[in-house]
Structure 1
Amino acid sequence: MGPLLGDGPLSGAAAALGVGLLVGLERERRKGEGPERQAAGIRSFTVAAMLGALAQGLSQALAAPGLLLLGGAMVGALAVAAYWRSAARDPGLTTELALCATYLIGLLCMSAPAWGAGAGALLALLLAARGRLHHFATRVLTEHELHDGLLLAALALVAVPLLPAGPQAVLGGADVRRLAALVLLILLLQAVGHVALRLFGARAGLPLSGFFSGFVSSTATIASMGSRSRHGDVPLAAAQAGALASTIATWLQALMILAAIAPALARQLWPAALVGALVALTMTAWLALRIPRGAGQASEAGSVLRVREAAAVALMIGAATLLLHGAGRWLGQDGVVAGAALAGAADAHAAIAAVGGLSSGGLAMPTAIWGVWAALLSNSAVRAVAAWTSGGAGFGGRVALGLAAQLAAAALALVLR
């Protein structure tokens, strides 16, 4: 949008005119006809947007900021009058607020045409989607889903930002904000899985959700799937398919990281990574085909989020990381392999990226390969424990077996290369 709209006054005025016409056209279709029609339509909204543009332009040219307040007061008075006239038959404030917003967008267009045009398009879209939004809020969204959405928003916007960042000496060097962010991530993945389940059902929804969530955190995805399985929200095979689908992303993302950072190391490991991903894909498809069609639709009763399980997994990962780092300090810096194993317990891709960087800097290829394998092995162990912790023996056993099969097949491919 930026290249199409410059920053001059003509561009700003054109953007304001377009916004007024766009929003006004939407309101014109809803204002009705006859003496009972609403007060503001396409002409009123266009004039309001142009009034904002003129007020901004003249205030800058004449150094008279009072014009902005005068224009706003005029539009506000007209909005109040329009509401007073129609309050008996339509107590809503949408049109009146949209009129004031259009004036402010007209102001914005003069200083940032692209931002103003985008805000105007978003306002028009919001107004046009009234029926769909009303249906979603009253018919589709359940009371528990609304509660859980508000909980996620509170955690993301209030709780996590307020926690102290960085290692805390009182807690043995643990990063409280990172652990809280991991809890938030697990809860978000639970919500993603719930949405996918409602849209596509268990057979396709959970594997798709697991695959894409695996690019963020396979450990968190496995924990989320295990929790859903333990509480009976989805069939066991569906949760296992979603968990193993996340491991496909682990192999592919590791290969992409190495291809970007250490191409020589990637050429050594790409057969193993692809074989590991293929084994994970095969097991995921096999489990998905075992799910009856229409089974495991998301329940509208009960909470979507499992906060207790998410916190337990985050604490487990934090404790494992602290113990491994303590062991590393006690053993000393014995090499890249030990360091990769320690880092891989918390995040396999970060450890693989570090090994790849060292490989590009002159690290011996055999040592680099062993470093990548150490990261994958330690991370797979943590994922297996997370599966057992969140989903129990039935869920964790098959996930652990799948992880072991992937590693064994990938190791065989590397040996035979």
Structure 2
Amino acid sequence: MSFLAPELAAPVEAFATALGIGLLIGMERERRSDSAAGLRTFALVSMLGCLFALLAEHSGGPWLLAVGLIVLALSMIASNFSAQQEEQYRGFTSEAAIIVTYGLGAAVWLGYAQVAVMLALTTTMLLYFKTELKAFSESMTAKDINSMLQFGVLALVILPILPDGNLGPYGAINPRQVWWLVVLISGLALAGYLALRIVGTQHGAALLGIFGGLASSTATTMMFSRHANEHPHLVRMSALVILIANVMVMLRLAVIAGLLAPALLPSIATVFICGIAPGILMAAHGWKILQTAGELPVPEVKNPTELKTALTFGALYALILLAAAWLQDIAGSSGLYIVALASGLTDADASVLSTLRMFNLERIGGQDAVIAATLALLANLVFKIGLLISIGGKPLARYALPGLLSIGCGMVGGLFLV
């Protein structure tokens, strides 16, 4: 029950929200001795933005908001000029935060309170994690920055201009959907790649396995197979990293399957869980080994968003779609399974995604889709087992094979459950 008149309730709520936003950002600035403004200034600026938005709305003059911003800017210029005279100027961060706070206060009155609060939290986090963000920026290489820029091209330049319609034989290819999946896979790989760069070698096998699986389980398997061969005392540690990376592949694809084909999720999740569960149990069994980890290398993952890599994945995905549609048309389910096995050897992502696409087009049934996706993952698992045996040798196979084979047997058992 409100104690305010109805005509006052909304304005009071708006100004209270604006005050809270100003106090939140100002609290972070107050704790810094080099800040040009503190708690009270930010609270007043946020309410000032709300007040000018109110006046602009009721006077019919949106220019009033600009006037308020100009007055605020002139005040900051005068303050900074005075500070420079006293050799006390310390940067522009607080001034930029003040301008943002003014805008957030205005946004509250204009009916965007939730967005304003979210942006206020984001602003506060950016201000608070100054040291961490600076360290992250300084650790970035030209390759890292290039990866992020190229991902922006993939997602924001190429994707919007592609046609959205079923093309080609059997209507199996939708250019925009194909590229959207390229963006999705590239984004996950980029996240894993950057996480590896941040984690480095400081946090042990568990995180290296997790992020290595996101970036590239094949590259992680190859790298740590070589590492085990060169450093025999870290064979068991390398086996654990490889196992965790391969568990992450199924977790990643399970999430993607849930996004792309929700109707198929109960069945495909059953198979994946049956593979993931023994893998996690085997990883937990070796958890104590983490305490004796030596210096572990970061998997050498190539630029996950390079245009050539993206085009290769997109072309492979489209080719698998066409091959699966054609073979399924002339040979039924057996043709689909052959494509899944062959393509899964080199790229489980493209094979599984093409299967989900065929299911969404209603060209294959749910059971066939689950079997094909499982065969692709099993084929990829066999390929990586071959890598670790040929590169890591018998010592690595002794510790890594039980976990990988348990994943494969779990998926096969899951198929029978489905």
TM-score (normalised: structure 1): 0.68
Q: Displacement, 1:58?
A: 0.9
The DSSP-based 3-state class of the residue aligned with 1:8 is helix
- C-alpha separation in 2, matches of 1:27 and 1:416: 58
The residue aligned with 1:153 is 148
- C-alpha separation in 1, matches of 2:113 and 2:320: 55
Q: For 1:8-52, what per-residue CA distance to the aligned partner results, in whole angstroms no more than 9, with x for missing partners?
A: 3332222122223333344344458xxxxx764433333322221
| Aligned with residue 84 of structure 1, among 77, 81, 85 | 81
The DSSP-based 3-state class of the residue aligned with 1:332 is helix
Q: Displacement, 1:77?
A: 0.5
The verdict on how the C-alpha distance between 1:340 and 1:97 changes in structure 2, with shifts beyond 3 A counting, is: same
Any residues of structure 2 matched to 1:89-104 within 5 Å, and which?
89-104=88-103
The verdict on how the C-alpha distance between 1:24 and 1:106 changes in structure 2, with shifts beyond 3 A counting, is: same
Please identify, of 238-247 and 222-231, the stretch whose mean Cα deviation from structure 2 is larger. 222-231
| Aligned with residue 370 of structure 2, among 358, 369, 372 | 372
The residue aligned with 1:276 is 275
The residue aligned with 2:302 is 306
Runs of 5+ consecutive residues of structure 1 not aligned to the other structure:
1-5, 33-37, 214-219
The residue aligned with 2:220 is 225
- C-alpha separation in 2, matches of 1:208 and 1:342: 29
The residue aligned with 2:115 is 115
- C-alpha separation in 1, matches of 2:291 and 2:107: 54
Contact 1:342/1:375 (<8 A) preserved: no
The code of the aligned residue for 1:153 comes to M
The verdict on how the C-alpha distance between 1:227 and 1:59 changes in structure 2, with shifts beyond 3 A counting, is: farther
- C-alpha separation in 1, matches of 2:94 and 2:252: 49
The code of the aligned residue for 1:351 comes to T
Any residues of structure 2 matched to 1:200-279 within 5 Å, and which?
200-202=203-205, 204-209=206-211, 213=214, 221-226=216-221, 228-229=223-224, 236-246=238-248, 249=251, 261=263, 266=267, 270=270, 275-279=274-278
- C-alpha separation in 2, matches of 1:39 and 1:316: 50
The CA RMSD over aligned residues, in Å, is 5.0
The verdict on how the C-alpha distance between 1:295 and 1:60 changes in structure 2, with shifts beyond 3 A counting, is: same
The code of the aligned residue for 1:21 comes to L
The code of the aligned residue for 2:100 comes to A
Runs of 5+ consecutive residues of structure 2 not aligned to the other structure:
1-7, 229-233, 345-349
- C-alpha separation in 2, matches of 1:7 and 1:162: 45
The code of the aligned residue for 2:372 comes to A
Contact 2:28/2:124 (<8 A) preserved: yes
- C-alpha separation in 1, matches of 2:384 and 2:313: 8
Contact 1:17/1:50 (<8 A) preserved: yes
- C-alpha separation in 2, matches of 1:324 and 1:307: 25
- C-alpha separation in 1, matches of 2:28 and 2:192: 36
Contact 1:321/1:342 (<8 A) preserved: no
The verdict on how the C-alpha distance between 1:15 and 1:281 changes in structure 2, with shifts beyond 3 A counting, is: closer
Structure 1 position 190 matched with structure 2 position 188 = no
Q: For 1:115-151, what per-residue CA distance to the aligned partner results, in whole angstroms no more than 9, with x for missing partners?
A: 2233334334433x1xx5225524xx37553544422
Identity of counterpart residues, as a percentage?
Answer: 19
The verdict on how the C-alpha distance between 1:44 and 1:178 changes in structure 2, with shifts beyond 3 A counting, is: closer
Q: Displacement, 1:376?
A: 0.8
TM-score (normalised: structure 2): 0.68
Count of aligned pairs: 379
- C-alpha separation in 2, matches of 1:416 and 1:28: 60
- C-alpha separation in 1, matches of 2:319 and 2:357: 21
Q: Displacement, 1:56?
A: 0.8
